[in-house]
Amino acid sequence: MTTFPRGPRLDRRGALKLSIGGAAALWLGSATQGFAQATQIKASWYGGQDTHDRMQQALALFSEKNPDIQVGVEFAPFADFYDRLPVQYSGGGAPDVHRHSMTYLFDYIERGLLADLTQHIGSTIDISGLYPGVVEIGTAGEQTQAIGNNQIAVALFYNQEKLDAAGVTGALDNLTWDAFRDMAIELGQAGGDQHYGTNDAGGFIALFELFVTQRGKGLYSDGALGFDRQDLADWFTFWHSMRAERGAPPPSVTAESAGFQNSPMVRNLAAMQTGWCQQLVFFQALMTQELGIHACPSPEGASDNGHLIRALDFWVAPARSAHVEQSARLIDFLLNDEEAIQTLGLTLGGPASDKASAILAETADAPSAKILNYLEELRPLASPQTPHWISGHGELESLLNRLNASVGFEQTTPEAAAENFFSEADRILG
């Protein structure tokens, strides 16, 4: 369990940069309030350096405005965060308020580990301006155990210079899966040896969810898989055909692509990249060429483009926390305080309310403005549904990624990989 020394404090404009090989911890609070007199809570989150810097600034601002609360913080990259969190919960030392990804959220809800925030909604936490789905995803029955801190959607990023040079920019209009494949192959071959059209997204489960939503299905239905074996075999086949003609890189390249700085697009190995829309800011910061953002492919003539605008990350409090009221005050601050919204920008994802959208639009830089516009234009076209992921989703996501790589290495066929996925899913989902 991480200890919190009585060390450095941030002022509201300070940007403290810490080494985060595993985790980092410090106390944030007002210098005018005695440390021992304040209620001490711990906040924790995952993300990259921009997220860590902005969250620390926002929490320093919170303690300045709420001098009766001292906030100890710890943070780490996503994988390290979720390596540590189960240990903290089992040992009784989980953070009083922390960020939770929907990838694992329902594992914790199912085990009764999260506090019910219902009694604090309306009195302490104002949810009246939040977009649909931001609260509903974390609500089951009469209990709300998670409140979304964003609304995001999958997107296609592209290097405008490379598309213009290859003469394929116009192919983005009414983009179908066939047109996307043709464009990716053309871009890969136009770039020369060891250049590819886009990243290999065969293991990106959110993009696969879009794919099956376009077929009138979903990832899950009544606690089981909501799609068929053939849907998954078709998906694996699509990405295998992309790799065969340099539309996407081989698995040996993809294996070295963890982290924004190592992505094929940033390394100048690909012209396009799929991901969550707010990641445009992170990619653009690492590149000199201008990036664009576009909706992902859809079947020709489809009535539903399959895109889901949903909360993906949430604020939660552990059921065993002694400071749920103070945590609720912090959650409300991060969602609704104008200065906090400005400080956080898009580092946690797209805005969770019209209020946040309007605040961020006033000072948005070019990449941020593109994300805000993308979400605004997508809303009328996106599915009105905000389907839940379920307990076991994280394991299934890892399984999809492994099997896509196995197909890429030609260790198995798309059909056999799909059969394997369903067999393993039976075990994972019980």
CATH number of 24-147+313-350, picked from 3.40.930.10, 3.40.120.10, 3.40.50.10800, 3.40.190.10: 3.40.190.10
pLDDT of residue 3: 33
pLDDT score of 141: 87
Report pLDDT for 28: 56
Least confident of 4-13, 319-328, 349-358, 399-408: 4-13
Question: Could you tell me where in the chain the CATH 3.40.190.10 domains are found?
Answer: 24-147+313-350, 154-307+392-429
In this predicted structure, what is the pLDDT of residue 300? 86
pLDDT computed for residue 36 by the predictor = 57
Any idea which of 21-35, 49-63, 179-193 has the lowest mean pLDDT?
Answer: 21-35
pLDDT over 90, % of the chain = 83
pLDDT, position 125: 98
User: For residue 14, what pLDDT is reported?
Assistant: 35
Region 179-199: mean pLDDT is: 95
Query: What pTM was estimated for this model as a whole?
Result: 0.89
Per-residue pLDDT, averaged over 159-171, amounts to 94
pLDDT surpasses 90 at 37: no
pLDDT of residue 222: 93
Q: What CATH superfamily classification does 154-307+392-429 receive?
A: Periplasmic binding protein-like II (3.40.190.10)
pLDDT digits (tens, 9 = 90+) for 316-331: 999 999 999 999 999 9
Instruction: State which of 5-9, 18-22, 368-372 shows the largest mean pLDDT.
Output: 368-372
- 19 band by pLDDT with thresholds 50, 70 and 90: very low
Residue 88 has pLDDT above 50, yes or no: yes
Q: What's the confidence (pLDDT) of residue 243?
A: 98
Q: Considering the chain, what is the average pLDDT of its residues? A: 90
Lowest-pLDDT range, 183-197, 372-386, 406-420? 372-386
pLDDT tens column, 106-156:
999 999 999 999 999 999 999 999 998 899 999 988 999 999 999 999 999
3-state secondary structure the chain: CCCCCCCCCCCCCCCCCCCCCCCEEEEECCCCCCHHHCEEEEEEEECCHHHHHHHHHHHHHHHHHCCCEEEEEEEECHHHHHHHHHHHHHHCCCCCEEEEEHHHHHHHHHCCCECCCHHHECCCECCCCECCCCCHHHEECCEECCEECCCECEEEEEEHHHHHHHCCHHHHCCCCHHHHHHHHHHHHHHCCCCCECCCCCCCCHHHHHHHHHCCCCCCEECCEECCCHHHHHHHHHHHHHHHHCCCCCCHHHHCCCCCHHHCCCCCCCECEEEEECCHHHHHHHCCCCCEEEECCCCCCCCCCCCCCCECCEEEECECCCCCHHHHHHHHHHHHHCHHHHHHHCCCCCCCCEHHHHHHHHHHCCHHHHHHHHHHHHHCCCCCCCCCCCCCCHHHHHHHHHHHHHHHHCCCCCHHHHHHHHHHHHHHHHC
- pLDDT band with cut points at 50, 70 and 90 for residue 10: very low
